[in-house]
């Protein structure tokens, strides 16, 4: 899918396994960087799989390190590993450097912590994740 094709189908960003206040905080931060993105909270594996299966455009998962909700995974890193190689870009939301390293080793793209939501580097990581998701959707 070319960049033009991604404009036909909006970018979808899912905040995966976050509590409601954090999901809203992430939504606000994402929409500052990606104003046309559709941002939705997801708190169970069935909903997550359905959204991935029915998505037509690029999709980015913002995965909480400690999952809130109904997931079969022990933590966000395991969820990232379970979805690695699929049509979505996954990144970990965690302030812990060791967890970020583990998430990338599990197949995630460079993530960020909640304390860095308004940093320029975070905006670049979100844009990079969209580019990766776009290329995976076209593969």
Q: What is the pLDDT of residues 8-17, one digit of tens each?
A: 789 999 999 9
- Would you kindly state where each structural domain of the chain is located, as residue ranges? 3-138
Going from the C-alpha of 139 to that of each of 18, 21, 39, 46, 88, the distances in angstroms are 29, 35, 23, 24, 11
Cβ count within 10 A of residue 122: 21
Q: Are 57 and 11 in contact (CB under 8 A)?
A: yes
Sign of the dihedral through C-alpha 61, 66, 70, 74: positive
Question: Percent of the chain, pLDDT > 90?
Answer: 89
Q: What is the pLDDT of residues 45-65, one digit of tens each?
A: 999 999 999 999 999 999 999
Helix/strand/coil for 109: strand
Q: Are 16 and 91 in contact (CB under 8 A)?
A: no
Q: What's the pTM?
A: 0.92
Q: What is the pLDDT of residues 21-44, one digit of tens each?
A: 999 999 999 999 999 999 999 999
Architecture of the structural domain at 3-138: 3-Layer(aba) Sandwich (3.40)
Q: Are 64 and 22 in contact (CB under 8 A)?
A: yes
């Amino acid at each position: 899918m070319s960049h033009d094709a991604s404009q036909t189908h909006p970018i979808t960003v899912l905040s995966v396994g976050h509590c409601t206040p954090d999901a809203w905080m992430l939504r606000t931060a994402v929409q500052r960087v990606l104003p046309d993105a559709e941002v939705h909270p997801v708190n169970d594996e069935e909903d997550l799989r359905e959204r991935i299966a029915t998505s037509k455009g690029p999709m980015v998962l913002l995965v909480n390190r400690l999952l809130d909700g109904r997931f079969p995974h022990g933590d966000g890193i395991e969820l990232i590993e379970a979805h690695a190689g699929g049509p979505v870009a996954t990144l970990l939301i965690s302030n812990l450097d060791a967890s970020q390293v583990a998430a990338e080793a599990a197949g995630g793209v460079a993530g960020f912590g909640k304390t860095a939501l308004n940093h320029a580097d975070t905006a670049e990581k979100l844009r990079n994740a969209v580019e990766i998701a776009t290329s995976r959707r076209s593969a």
